[in-house]
Structure 1
Amino acid sequence: MTAEIREARIRRASPADEARLRALQKRAYVKYVPRIGAEPQPMAEDAAALLRDYEVWVVDGAEDGLAGALVLRHAEDHLLIWSVAVDPTQQGAGLGRRLLDFAEQQALSRSLPEVRLFTNAQFTENRALYAHLGYVETGIESYDGYDLVHMAKVLVAMA
Protein backbone atom coordinates (compact mmCIF):
# COMPACT_ATOMS: atom_id res chain seq x y z
CA MET A 1 0.00 0.00 0.00
CA THR A 2 1.41 3.35 -0.89
CA ALA A 3 2.00 5.83 1.90
CA GLU A 4 -0.63 8.03 0.27
CA ILE A 5 -3.29 5.29 0.60
CA ARG A 6 -2.09 4.31 4.07
CA GLU A 7 -2.61 7.90 5.24
CA ALA A 8 -5.83 8.54 3.31
CA ARG A 9 -8.77 9.17 5.55
CA ILE A 10 -11.83 7.00 5.69
CA ARG A 11 -14.77 9.17 4.72
CA ARG A 12 -18.51 8.76 4.37
CA ALA A 13 -19.46 8.00 0.78
CA SER A 14 -21.82 10.26 -1.12
CA PRO A 15 -24.01 9.74 -4.19
CA ALA A 16 -21.12 11.15 -6.24
CA ASP A 17 -19.19 7.96 -5.36
CA GLU A 18 -21.75 5.62 -6.96
CA ALA A 19 -19.81 4.74 -10.13
CA ARG A 20 -16.51 4.42 -8.26
CA LEU A 21 -18.14 2.20 -5.62
CA ARG A 22 -19.65 -0.03 -8.32
CA ALA A 23 -16.26 -0.34 -10.05
CA LEU A 24 -14.46 -1.14 -6.78
CA GLN A 25 -16.99 -3.83 -5.82
CA LYS A 26 -16.45 -5.46 -9.23
CA ARG A 27 -12.63 -5.30 -8.99
CA ALA A 28 -12.51 -6.54 -5.41
CA TYR A 29 -14.84 -9.52 -5.80
CA VAL A 30 -14.18 -10.73 -9.37
CA LYS A 31 -11.56 -13.22 -8.13
CA TYR A 32 -14.34 -15.23 -6.46
CA VAL A 33 -16.47 -15.70 -9.60
CA PRO A 34 -14.60 -18.84 -10.80
CA ARG A 35 -14.78 -20.34 -7.31
CA ILE A 36 -18.54 -20.02 -6.86
CA GLY A 37 -19.63 -19.82 -10.49
CA ALA A 38 -21.45 -16.50 -10.07
CA GLU A 39 -20.94 -12.94 -8.94
CA PRO A 40 -20.74 -12.67 -5.15
CA GLN A 41 -23.57 -10.60 -3.70
CA PRO A 42 -21.49 -7.43 -3.14
CA MET A 43 -20.32 -7.54 -6.75
CA ALA A 44 -23.85 -7.84 -8.07
CA GLU A 45 -25.46 -5.34 -5.67
CA ASP A 46 -26.65 -1.99 -7.01
CA ALA A 47 -24.27 0.72 -5.76
CA ALA A 48 -27.05 3.31 -5.63
CA ALA A 49 -29.05 0.99 -3.34
CA LEU A 50 -26.03 0.50 -1.09
CA LEU A 51 -25.57 4.25 -0.78
CA ARG A 52 -29.27 4.71 -0.07
CA ASP A 53 -29.91 1.77 2.28
CA TYR A 54 -26.58 1.28 4.08
CA GLU A 55 -23.83 3.32 5.65
CA VAL A 56 -20.94 3.34 3.18
CA TRP A 57 -17.42 4.49 4.05
CA VAL A 58 -14.64 4.77 1.47
CA VAL A 59 -10.92 5.41 1.06
CA ASP A 60 -9.93 7.31 -2.04
CA GLY A 61 -7.29 5.75 -4.23
CA ALA A 62 -5.11 6.74 -7.10
CA GLU A 63 -6.36 7.56 -10.59
CA ASP A 64 -9.80 8.72 -9.41
CA GLY A 65 -10.77 5.28 -8.10
CA LEU A 66 -11.53 3.98 -4.64
CA ALA A 67 -8.90 1.99 -2.77
CA GLY A 68 -11.42 0.53 -0.35
CA ALA A 69 -15.00 0.58 0.86
CA LEU A 70 -16.83 -0.56 3.96
CA VAL A 71 -20.59 -1.13 3.95
CA LEU A 72 -22.28 -1.13 7.36
CA ARG A 73 -25.76 -1.55 8.74
CA HIS A 74 -26.61 -0.38 12.25
CA ALA A 75 -28.85 -2.77 14.19
CA GLU A 76 -30.25 -2.41 17.68
CA ASP A 77 -27.66 -4.65 19.34
CA HIS A 78 -24.78 -4.85 16.84
CA LEU A 79 -23.14 -3.33 13.80
CA LEU A 80 -23.24 -5.49 10.68
CA ILE A 81 -20.32 -5.39 8.27
CA TRP A 82 -22.15 -6.11 5.03
CA SER A 83 -19.08 -5.77 2.82
CA VAL A 84 -15.39 -4.93 2.91
CA ALA A 85 -13.95 -4.27 -0.54
CA VAL A 86 -10.29 -3.52 -1.21
CA ASP A 87 -8.87 -2.78 -4.63
CA PRO A 88 -6.74 -5.77 -5.75
CA THR A 89 -3.68 -3.50 -6.06
CA GLN A 90 -4.03 -2.68 -2.34
CA GLN A 91 -4.86 -6.16 -1.01
CA GLY A 92 -2.46 -7.67 1.49
CA ALA A 93 -1.18 -4.29 2.67
CA GLY A 94 -3.45 -3.68 5.66
CA LEU A 95 -6.27 -1.58 4.21
CA GLY A 96 -8.88 -4.29 4.84
CA ARG A 97 -7.72 -4.56 8.45
CA ARG A 98 -7.89 -0.78 8.77
CA LEU A 99 -11.50 -0.82 7.52
CA LEU A 100 -12.43 -3.62 9.95
CA ASP A 101 -10.83 -1.69 12.82
CA PHE A 102 -12.83 1.36 11.74
CA ALA A 103 -16.05 -0.68 11.85
CA GLU A 104 -15.23 -1.82 15.37
CA GLN A 105 -14.55 1.78 16.41
CA GLN A 106 -17.89 2.80 14.91
CA ALA A 107 -19.66 0.10 16.92
CA LEU A 108 -17.98 1.17 20.15
CA SER A 109 -18.76 4.85 19.52
CA ARG A 110 -22.44 3.85 19.25
CA SER A 111 -22.27 1.72 22.42
CA LEU A 112 -22.86 -1.45 20.42
CA PRO A 113 -21.27 -4.50 22.04
CA GLU A 114 -20.78 -6.60 18.92
CA VAL A 115 -19.78 -6.51 15.28
CA ARG A 116 -21.18 -9.16 12.94
CA LEU A 117 -20.43 -10.15 9.39
CA PHE A 118 -21.02 -12.99 6.97
CA THR A 119 -19.00 -14.54 4.20
CA ASN A 120 -19.43 -17.30 1.66
CA ALA A 121 -18.36 -20.64 3.16
CA GLN A 122 -16.08 -21.18 0.14
CA PHE A 123 -14.09 -18.01 0.92
CA THR A 124 -11.83 -19.92 3.30
CA GLU A 125 -9.14 -17.23 3.35
CA ASN A 126 -11.71 -14.68 4.57
CA ARG A 127 -12.90 -17.05 7.28
CA ALA A 128 -9.32 -17.57 8.45
CA LEU A 129 -8.59 -13.83 8.44
CA TYR A 130 -11.72 -12.99 10.43
CA ALA A 131 -10.96 -15.76 12.93
CA HIS A 132 -7.42 -14.41 13.31
CA LEU A 133 -8.92 -10.98 14.09
CA GLY A 134 -11.15 -12.40 16.85
CA TYR A 135 -14.37 -13.17 14.98
CA VAL A 136 -16.12 -16.40 15.94
CA GLU A 137 -18.32 -18.43 13.61
CA THR A 138 -21.87 -18.34 14.96
CA GLY A 139 -23.76 -20.26 12.31
CA ILE A 140 -24.19 -21.24 8.69
CA GLU A 141 -27.26 -20.54 6.58
CA SER A 142 -28.23 -21.39 3.04
CA TYR A 143 -28.87 -18.29 0.97
CA ASP A 144 -29.53 -18.14 -2.75
CA GLY A 145 -27.86 -21.52 -3.31
CA TYR A 146 -24.78 -20.78 -1.21
CA ASP A 147 -23.75 -21.37 2.38
CA LEU A 148 -23.09 -18.18 4.29
CA VAL A 149 -20.98 -18.30 7.43
CA HIS A 150 -22.07 -15.84 10.09
CA MET A 151 -19.34 -14.50 12.37
CA ALA A 152 -19.32 -12.13 15.34
CA LYS A 153 -16.83 -10.33 17.53
CA VAL A 154 -17.79 -9.17 21.00
CA LEU A 155 -16.27 -5.76 21.66
CA VAL A 156 -17.40 -4.98 25.20
CA ALA A 157 -18.70 -7.10 28.05
CA MET A 158 -22.44 -6.96 28.54
CA ALA A 159 -23.41 -5.39 31.87
Structure 2
Amino acid sequence: MIRLATPHDEAAIRACAIEAYTPYIARMGREPAPMGADYAAQIARGVVYVEEEESLLGFITFYDEGDHILLENVAVTQAVRGRGTGRKLIGLCEAAAQALGKPVRLYTNATMVENLEIYPRLGYTKIDEREENGFHRVYFEKNPA
Protein backbone atom coordinates (compact mmCIF):
# COMPACT_ATOMS: atom_id res chain seq x y z
CA MET A 1 0.00 0.00 0.00
CA ILE A 2 1.31 3.45 -0.90
CA ARG A 3 0.45 6.29 1.44
CA LEU A 4 1.65 9.73 2.45
CA ALA A 5 4.51 9.49 4.96
CA THR A 6 4.00 10.59 8.56
CA PRO A 7 6.60 11.66 11.14
CA HIS A 8 6.42 8.10 12.51
CA ASP A 9 7.98 6.88 9.22
CA GLU A 10 11.10 9.07 9.36
CA ALA A 11 13.45 6.51 10.92
CA ALA A 12 12.42 3.78 8.46
CA ILE A 13 12.75 6.20 5.51
CA ARG A 14 16.24 7.21 6.62
CA ALA A 15 17.23 3.56 7.10
CA CYS A 16 15.93 2.73 3.61
CA ALA A 17 17.90 5.62 2.10
CA ILE A 18 21.08 4.51 3.87
CA GLU A 19 20.58 0.91 2.71
CA ALA A 20 19.80 1.94 -0.88
CA TYR A 21 22.57 4.51 -1.31
CA THR A 22 25.49 3.11 0.73
CA PRO A 23 26.71 0.95 -2.19
CA TYR A 24 27.33 4.13 -4.22
CA ILE A 25 29.70 5.77 -1.71
CA ALA A 26 32.77 3.98 -3.08
CA ARG A 27 31.92 4.98 -6.66
CA MET A 28 31.22 8.60 -5.80
CA GLY A 29 33.89 9.10 -3.18
CA ARG A 30 31.28 10.58 -0.84
CA GLU A 31 27.77 9.99 0.44
CA PRO A 32 25.04 10.48 -2.17
CA ALA A 33 22.84 13.51 -1.43
CA PRO A 34 19.78 11.44 -0.33
CA MET A 35 21.75 10.07 2.61
CA GLY A 36 21.85 13.54 4.15
CA ALA A 37 18.35 14.71 3.20
CA ASP A 38 16.12 16.37 5.81
CA TYR A 39 13.36 13.77 5.72
CA ALA A 40 11.54 15.30 8.70
CA ALA A 41 11.11 18.56 6.77
CA GLN A 42 10.09 16.75 3.59
CA ILE A 43 7.52 14.67 5.47
CA ALA A 44 6.17 17.85 7.07
CA ARG A 45 5.82 19.41 3.58
CA GLY A 46 3.78 16.39 2.48
CA VAL A 47 6.10 15.36 -0.37
CA VAL A 48 7.15 11.88 0.77
CA TYR A 49 5.15 8.71 0.10
CA VAL A 50 5.91 5.24 1.40
CA GLU A 51 5.16 1.76 0.13
CA GLU A 52 4.60 -0.67 2.97
CA GLU A 53 3.29 -4.08 3.81
CA GLU A 54 4.29 -5.22 7.30
CA SER A 55 7.21 -2.80 7.09
CA LEU A 56 8.50 -0.05 4.80
CA LEU A 57 9.52 -1.38 1.38
CA GLY A 58 10.48 1.94 -0.19
CA PHE A 59 9.68 5.62 -0.51
CA ILE A 60 9.50 8.43 -3.04
CA THR A 61 9.87 12.19 -2.72
CA PHE A 62 8.35 14.45 -5.38
CA TYR A 63 6.84 17.92 -5.60
CA ASP A 64 5.54 20.59 -7.95
CA GLU A 65 8.21 22.95 -9.28
CA GLY A 66 5.82 25.12 -11.31
CA ASP A 67 6.41 23.93 -14.86
CA HIS A 68 7.21 20.31 -13.89
CA ILE A 69 7.06 17.77 -11.08
CA LEU A 70 10.49 17.05 -9.61
CA LEU A 71 11.00 13.42 -8.66
CA GLU A 72 13.75 14.06 -6.13
CA ASN A 73 14.29 10.63 -4.64
CA VAL A 74 13.08 7.06 -4.94
CA ALA A 75 14.60 4.24 -2.90
CA VAL A 76 13.65 0.68 -2.02
CA THR A 77 15.00 -1.81 0.46
CA GLN A 78 17.36 -4.52 -0.74
CA ALA A 79 14.72 -7.13 0.17
CA VAL A 80 12.38 -5.94 -2.61
CA ARG A 81 14.87 -4.61 -5.13
CA GLY A 82 13.95 -5.73 -8.64
CA ARG A 83 10.37 -6.61 -7.70
CA GLY A 84 8.61 -3.51 -9.08
CA THR A 85 8.35 -1.46 -5.89
CA GLY A 86 10.37 1.43 -7.31
CA ARG A 87 8.40 1.34 -10.54
CA LYS A 88 5.14 1.43 -8.57
CA LEU A 89 6.34 4.46 -6.61
CA ILE A 90 7.46 6.23 -9.80
CA GLY A 91 4.03 5.45 -11.25
CA LEU A 92 2.44 7.41 -8.39
CA CYS A 93 4.59 10.42 -9.25
CA GLU A 94 3.82 10.11 -12.95
CA ALA A 95 0.07 9.89 -12.26
CA ALA A 96 0.23 13.05 -10.13
CA ALA A 97 2.13 14.85 -12.89
CA GLN A 98 -0.30 13.65 -15.56
CA ALA A 99 -3.26 14.92 -13.51
CA LEU A 100 -1.60 18.35 -13.58
CA GLY A 101 -0.55 18.07 -17.24
CA LYS A 102 3.11 18.50 -16.29
CA PRO A 103 6.24 16.54 -17.15
CA VAL A 104 8.25 14.67 -14.53
CA ARG A 105 11.90 15.66 -14.19
CA LEU A 106 14.49 13.83 -12.16
CA TYR A 107 18.22 13.62 -11.78
CA THR A 108 20.65 10.91 -10.88
CA ASN A 109 24.36 10.82 -10.31
CA ALA A 110 26.43 9.92 -13.36
CA THR A 111 28.15 7.16 -11.35
CA MET A 112 24.78 5.45 -10.76
CA VAL A 113 25.02 3.75 -14.13
CA GLU A 114 22.12 1.42 -13.32
CA ASN A 115 19.81 4.44 -13.21
CA LEU A 116 21.18 5.75 -16.50
CA GLU A 117 19.83 2.53 -18.05
CA ILE A 118 16.58 2.26 -16.09
CA TYR A 119 15.12 5.71 -16.70
CA PRO A 120 15.21 5.55 -20.53
CA ARG A 121 13.49 2.15 -20.33
CA LEU A 122 10.74 3.85 -18.31
CA GLY A 123 10.25 6.46 -21.04
CA TYR A 124 12.50 9.22 -19.73
CA THR A 125 14.70 11.30 -22.04
CA LYS A 126 18.06 12.74 -20.99
CA ILE A 127 17.78 16.53 -21.07
CA ASP A 128 20.89 17.81 -19.28
CA GLU A 129 24.11 16.90 -17.50
CA ARG A 130 25.94 19.21 -15.11
CA GLU A 131 27.92 19.62 -11.91
CA GLU A 132 25.83 20.73 -8.92
CA ASN A 133 26.86 20.89 -5.28
CA GLY A 134 29.88 18.73 -6.08
CA PHE A 135 27.78 16.03 -7.77
CA HIS A 136 27.84 15.12 -11.48
CA ARG A 137 24.10 14.96 -12.20
CA VAL A 138 22.26 13.68 -15.23
CA TYR A 139 18.75 15.07 -15.74
CA PHE A 140 15.86 13.21 -17.33
CA GLU A 141 12.30 14.19 -18.25
CA LYS A 142 9.11 12.36 -19.14
CA ASN A 143 6.17 14.20 -20.63
CA PRO A 144 2.60 13.31 -19.66
CA ALA A 145 0.97 10.70 -21.89
- Please tell me the TM-score bracket, short chain as reference: over 0.9
What is the Cα-based RMSD across aligned positions, in Å?
Answer: 1.4
> What is the CA-CA distance between 1:61 and the residue it aligns to?
4.3
2:23 is aligned to 31
Q: Does 1:122 align with 2:111?
A: yes
Match of 1:92 among 74, 82, 87: 82
1:153 is aligned to 142
CA distance in 2, matches of 1:47, 1:23: 11
Deviation digits for residues 37-73 of structure 1 (CA, Å, limit 9, x no counterpart): 11100112122122134600001244xx410100001
Which consecutive unaligned segments of at least 5 residues does structure 2 have? none
> What is the CA-CA distance between 1:150 and the residue it aligns to?
0.7
AA at the equivalent of 2:90: L
Q: Does 1:68 align with 2:58?
A: yes
> Which secondary structure state, in structure 1, belongs to the residue aligned with residue 67 of structure 2?
coil
Based on CA coordinates, which of the two structures has the bigger radius of gyration? 1
Indicate if the aligned counterparts of 1:68 and 1:84 stay in contact, CA closer than 8 A. yes
Question: What TM-score do you get using the length of structure 1 for normalisation?
Answer: 0.85
Sequence identity percentage: 37
2:35 is aligned to 43
CA distance in 2, matches of 1:88, 1:28: 7
CA distance in 1, matches of 2:141, 2:135: 19
Query: What is the number of equivalent residue pairs in this alignment?
Result: 145
Q: Does 1:12 align with 2:4?
A: yes
Which consecutive unaligned segments of at least 5 residues does structure 1 have? 1-8
Question: What TM-score do you get using the length of structure 2 for normalisation?
Answer: 0.93
Indicate if the aligned counterparts of 2:5 and 2:46 stay in contact, CA closer than 8 A. no
CA distance in 2, matches of 1:60, 1:110: 26
CA distance in 1, matches of 2:80, 2:17: 13
